Structure 1
Amino acid sequence: MSVAERRSILIFTEGKKTEPIYLQHWYRLHRDRAIVVIDEFHGGPLQLVETACARKQADLREKKRGRGDTFDEYWCVFDVDEHHNLDQAVELAFKGGISIAVSNPCIELWFMIHFKDQWAGLHRHDAQDRAEELLGCGKAPTVKALELLVDRHDVAVSRAQALDKKHDGDGSPPRSNPSTDLWRLIQKIRSPST
């Protein structure tokens, strides 16, 4: 696959360590399929989406002037945590054509479900502690932890999708605790461009 055929993805992450390390690992594994750039800006959900929208608009302007190009996709990755402007961020992302990957309560839930089911809601500190125990590392995933996550990826996707079905079935709002759709971004990185 040539460079021109690879999907280009610009990603804005809330976290400065965990998400960039994790996503860069997937990119290294699939660089023949995608070009992944993780922006240096980090912040809460609304700031991420505002920054992503502004970058997308600037890229579009430069492309029209013949001085640049746009990415195929713009993504924001963030946790629900205790952010008060989450609904506003989701709405702005939709209006701005920005894809989002949201974990509730936090990305560590995504790591946890690589190892076991998690049907009950939980506090982010509990998710962080459990993920640390399961992976044997803190906020910065080690090479060993990253390899474990890759090996167990497919089962984690199934568990994340089962959580979505559970919430649909019991009438819970979308993205209820526990839930994560980070796998959608990973699928974009892993899949050949179409």
Structure 2
Amino acid sequence: MGKRLRHPRSRRSFERRQGKRSPRKCVLIVCEGEKTEPKYFESLRRKLRLQSAEVRICGKECGSAPVSVVEFAMQEKDRRKREVKQGHAPVEYDSIWCVIDVEESGKNPSLLDALQRAKDNKVDVALSNPCFEFWILLHLRDGGKPYRNCKEVIHDLANALGRLYGKGDDIFEELFPYIQDAIRRATNLEQRQAYDRTKFPNPSTQVHHLVKFLLSWQQAEAR
């Protein structure tokens, strides 16, 4: 008796059996700085294998004013929407973060405007006072004394590292084992400052919220 020939499954029946994977969600991180911040988050993205996280540098094309950083993020959001409609991108950004330094707040009149625009457009902001390097420092030690400028933070960071440190130095692999320590220190500092009426406590950072978000994102993608 001859063998019964099997008819190949149709593509439609295969798709019903397999199911279609929904496109991954996507997060956008816009950095004001051109060295330290993007290097840190690019390294973190690779470490966590977050293929759906994108890091954009708001550099010469938009300036370093906080409001310009937020506007750049909004432009990227609109650009992504157009790409999705044209079929050039799978999904729109589900979450957008801007990484901004206070520096010397008295010389930064656009900061409040930037924060309001971000809030109005559902853009999250990870603010550091005086600068992002304070978040880096928290990987290695507690921080509580006020700083006049970022140079003083870098001085303390160099002491904590035991060597000279320059903006843009790639030290992520040294820092990563202590990332939970940095989150704990930043959280404790934020809680102590919760009852302070100061608009931008010095020193302070909100970067731990973004890092915790990325860590939770990794766990969700791994499921």
Cα deviation code 1:20-72 (max 9, x no counterpart): 111111001111x4522222432221101011112213333554565543112
Count of equivalent residues? 188
Q: Mind listing any 5+ residue stretches in structure 1 that lack a counterpart?
A: none
Instruction: Determine if contact 1:22/1:141 at 8 Å carries over to the other structure.
Output: no
Cα deviation code 1:101-151 (max 9, x no counterpart): 111110111111222221221122200221233234311232xx2122111
TM-score normalised according to structure 2 size:
0.75
Instruction: Determine if contact 2:28/2:53 at 8 Å carries over to the other structure.
Output: yes
Paired letter, 1:138: G
Residue 89 in 1 paired to residue 110 in 2?
Answer: no
Counterparts in 2 of 1:7 and 1:151: CA distance versus 1, 3 Å: farther
Residue 37 in 1 paired to residue 63 in 2?
Answer: no
SS where residue 193 of structure 2 aligns?
Answer: helix
Residue 9 in 1 paired to residue 27 in 2?
Answer: yes
Counterparts in 2 of 1:28 and 1:126: CA distance versus 1, 3 Å: same
Instruction: Determine if contact 1:6/1:34 at 8 Å carries over to the other structure.
Output: no
The structure that has the greater radius of gyration is 2
TM-score normalised according to structure 1 size:
0.86
Aligned equivalents of 1:56 and 1:92: distance in 2?
A: 14
Counterparts in 2 of 1:35 and 1:174: CA distance versus 1, 3 Å: farther
Q: How much identity, in percent, do the aligned residues show?
A: 29
Cα deviation code 1:2-22 (max 9, x no counterpart): x95654221111110100111
Q: Mind listing any 5+ residue stretches in structure 2 that lack a counterpart?
A: 1-20
Instruction: Determine if contact 1:7/1:193 at 8 Å carries over to the other structure.
Output: no
CA-atom RMSD, angstroms? 2.2
Instruction: Determine if contact 2:30/2:98 at 8 Å carries over to the other structure.
Output: yes
Residue 57 in 1 paired to residue 83 in 2?
Answer: no
Instruction: After TM superposition, list the pairs within 5 Å mapping 1:124-163 onto structure 2.
Output: 124-135=150-161, 136=163, 137-142=165-170, 145-163=171-189
SS where residue 126 of structure 2 aligns?
Answer: strand
Per the TM alignment, residue 161 of structure 1 is displaced from its structure 2 partner at its CA by: 1.0
